[in-house]
Structure 1
């Protein structure tokens, strides 16, 4: 069994490590190229590359998996099976056809719901009470292949994208370990997806991060959780970007005469803001040019008057 593993972010690392720990012959690891990160734009390897090198595995980093050179480089390893987890590129048919046992993917949703590149974030943003991991055979479409196995996990109000990434990453690796023997034996049950039930989770954009105060407090609470700790949700204060990292929904206390985005008060518990339905309490925030901090700490040195309006202008 010669396995080529493809993955990029931290989500994929437990699956790679499981393959090695269970003594599968991982002959190569394919991941995205190193990218500039941070204010200094330091060239940084993806987590899967770091894990692969620590395990002594050869690493390929093609810019485009669809290129003839990239396909040929993978073909040289003569894989019996290709395992992917959040690789970040759609595999061409030339790659899908390489391994005799096919290509399988560890996908962070309960397919056919949330096909696409941001299933975990969007499941939280959309207020889902549960999500999961599906192991599937890969096809040419976007996450359209037959399903092999799945596991469901709850999403609580305390969860963020960060906590769910960790939970689903671990659950995906465990599910992969339990599913591989049947795939290798040719006994895996391949269940076609019900395409009419499919929903999509496209990669997040800047518009997805922008707070629209006319939405309900609950919707905005889910948006903030779904964007933390990666991008963060943002609004504007006095024309400058103001990020919100954690928040809470307040029971009652709203004002029917206050426009959405109006500050109703601010104290040690946070900044209370009127929404289209209910009150959102901002807990951890990041004003323009500053680090993330607790709202109560920021209020010690900042003046925020009741009646101030968030979202008062400026382009993203």
Structure 2
């Protein structure tokens, strides 16, 4: 059983580790090219590449999998099976047709819900109570292939996309371990997805990160959790970008008085209380423009907030 494994972020690493531990032959690991990271734009390899090199595995990093030379490189490996986990590119039919056992994907949602590139973040942002991992046969469409197996994972109230990524990556590796024998023996039966139940989780955009203070406190908190610890949700204070890294919803559902959404109604050792369209949001970890993330209480020690100060959803005019 020669396997070509494709993936990019840390989500894929436990699945590769499991394949190595179980003694599967990994013909090569395919991942995205190294990309500039951080303010200094340091060329950085994907986490899966680092893991593959630690195992002494050959690594391929095609810029576009659809290019003929990329397809040829995979064909030359003569894989029996291709396994992907958050690879980040859609495989063309020419690649899907190469392995005799087909191509399978470890997807971070309970399909057909949350097809696409950001299922973990968006499941939190949408306030879901449970998510999971689906192993599926890959087809030409976006996560449309027949499902083979699933496992559910609850979303805890304090989960962020970071903690949920870790939980689902481990659950996915274990599910892959349990599912592969049935695929190899031919006993795995694909279950078609119900198209009417499909929802989508497209990659995040800058607009997804913008806080709309007219929404409810709980909706904004879910947005912050879904964007943490990566990009972070942002707003504007004094015409500068102000990121919210962590927050909570106090027991009091609504602030007293007549405050417009975005108005700062209290700022003390507990954090920064902000009026929303429905309820009060308490900002506990923030990141002002040009600074590192910090506790809101620490920032307040040196900050000067004018009476009636407020956050704005829109950018400065």
What is the TM-score when the length of structure 1 is the normalising length?
Answer: 0.98
* 1:16-65 deviation per Cα after TM superposition (whole angstroms, max 9, x unaligned): 11101100001100000000001110000000000000001000000000
Q: Does 1:19 pair with 2:19?
A: yes
* 1:69-97 deviation per Cα after TM superposition (whole angstroms, max 9, x unaligned): 00000110000000000000000000000
Equivalent runs, 1:129-144 vs 2, <5 Å:
129-144=129-144
- Listed as ranges, the gaps of 5+ residues in structure 2 are none
Give the equivalent residue in structure 2 for 1:255. 256
Distance in 2 separating the partners of 1:248 and 1:165: 21
Distance in 2 separating the partners of 1:145 and 1:45: 30
* 1:159-192 deviation per Cα after TM superposition (whole angstroms, max 9, x unaligned): 0000000000000000000000000000002100
Give the ranges of 4+ consecutive aligned residues of structure 1 lying more than 4 Å apart after TM superposition.
none
Q: Does 1:195 pair with 2:165?
A: no
Distance in 1 separating the partners of 2:57 and 2:168: 24
Give the equivalent residue in structure 1 for 2:287. 286
* 1:83-135 deviation per Cα after TM superposition (whole angstroms, max 9, x unaligned): 00000000000000000000000000000000000000000000000000000
How many residues matched? 316
Equivalent runs, 1:262-281 vs 2, <5 Å:
262-281=263-282
Distance in 2 separating the partners of 1:21 and 1:308: 56
Give the equivalent residue in structure 1 for 2:211. 211
Equivalent runs, 1:1-316 vs 2, <5 Å:
1-252=1-252, 253-311=254-312, 313-314=314-315
| Secondary structure of 1:201's aligned partner | coil
Once the two structures are TM-superposed, the CA of residue 313 in structure 1 deviates from its matched residue by 4.7
Distance in 2 separating the partners of 1:193 and 1:313: 40
Instruction: Rate the CA distance shift 1:67–1:312 in 2: closer, same or farther, 3 A.
Output: closer
* 1:133-170 deviation per Cα after TM superposition (whole angstroms, max 9, x unaligned): 00000000000000000000110111000000000000
Once the two structures are TM-superposed, the CA of residue 196 in structure 1 deviates from its matched residue by 0.5
Distance in 2 separating the partners of 1:117 and 1:166: 16
Distance in 2 separating the partners of 1:9 and 1:109: 16
| Secondary structure of 1:19's aligned partner | helix
* 1:232-275 deviation per Cα after TM superposition (whole angstroms, max 9, x unaligned): 00000011000000000012251351000000011011000000
Once the two structures are TM-superposed, the CA of residue 306 in structure 1 deviates from its matched residue by 4.2
Pairwise CA RMSD: 1.1
Distance in 1 separating the partners of 2:197 and 2:96: 25
* 1:181-206 deviation per Cα after TM superposition (whole angstroms, max 9, x unaligned): 00000000210000110000000000
Once the two structures are TM-superposed, the CA of residue 303 in structure 1 deviates from its matched residue by 1.1
